[in-house]
């Protein structure tokens, strides 16, 4: 009987320890979001870092990105359409050089947004979702592109 009580006590201690470990892991906030929540939906540019400047598009300029589950990214860079490939593993993300159409943009700041947006993509080395926004970061962990889900 004493041995059974000892085993039950040991089992309860292990369950309690496992529960505490699970709570500690969930509360750290260091879990990588699921990439599946990013793919196959359109994201709209909120801001892009261009050197020491932060640029945000204003209508009619709108830049978008859609990361398809087959490893391709495409969208509108502010004036021209673009596409390219990407590789993602965990929180790492790399975007290859983008192919882009070359039409003339007449809207105010369209070319500035487009050049910054397409240039920032090649700097991306990681990603995160913060408050529902997709944050693309450079190798120093600094945000270079911030996107929000496009209105459906």
CATH class of 35-149: mainly beta
Tell me what the mean pLDDT of segment 117-144 comes to.
97
Q: Which two tokens stand for residue 91?
A: 């929180």
Query: Residue 126 contacts by C-beta under 8 Å, 6 or more apart in sequence?
Result: 91, 92, 93, 136, 137, 141
- The answer to whether the CB of 117 falls within 8 A of the CB of 78 is yes
pLDDT-above-70 percentage for the chain: 79
Domains of the chain, by residue range, sit at 1-31, 35-149
Please tell me the pTM assigned to this model.
Answer: 0.78
Q: Which two tokens stand for residue 35?
A: 């990439």
pLDDT interval class at 14 (50, 70, 90): very low
Q: Of residues 15 and 70, which shows the higher confidence score?
A: 70
Residue entry with tokens 């913060």: 130
């Amino acid at each position: 009987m004493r041995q059974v009580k000892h085993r039950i006590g040991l089992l309860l201690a292990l369950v309690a320890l496992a529960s505490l470990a699970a709570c500690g892991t969930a509360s750290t906030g260091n879990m990588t979001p699921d990439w599946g929540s990013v793919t196959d939906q359109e994201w709209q540019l909120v801001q892009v870092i261009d050197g020491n400047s932060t640029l945000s598009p204003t209508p009619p300029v709108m830049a978008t990105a859609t990361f398809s589950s087959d490893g391709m990214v495409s969208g509108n860079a502010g004036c021209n359409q673009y596409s390219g490939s990407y590789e993602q593993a965990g929180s790492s993300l790399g975007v290859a050089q983008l192919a882009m159409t070359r039409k003339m943009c007449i809207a105010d700041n369209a070319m500035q947004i487009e050049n910054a947006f397409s240039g920032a993509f090649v700097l991306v080395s990681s990603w995160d979702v913060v408050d529902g926004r997709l944050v693309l970061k450079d190798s120093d962990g600094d945000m270079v592109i911030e996107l929000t889900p496009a209105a459906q």
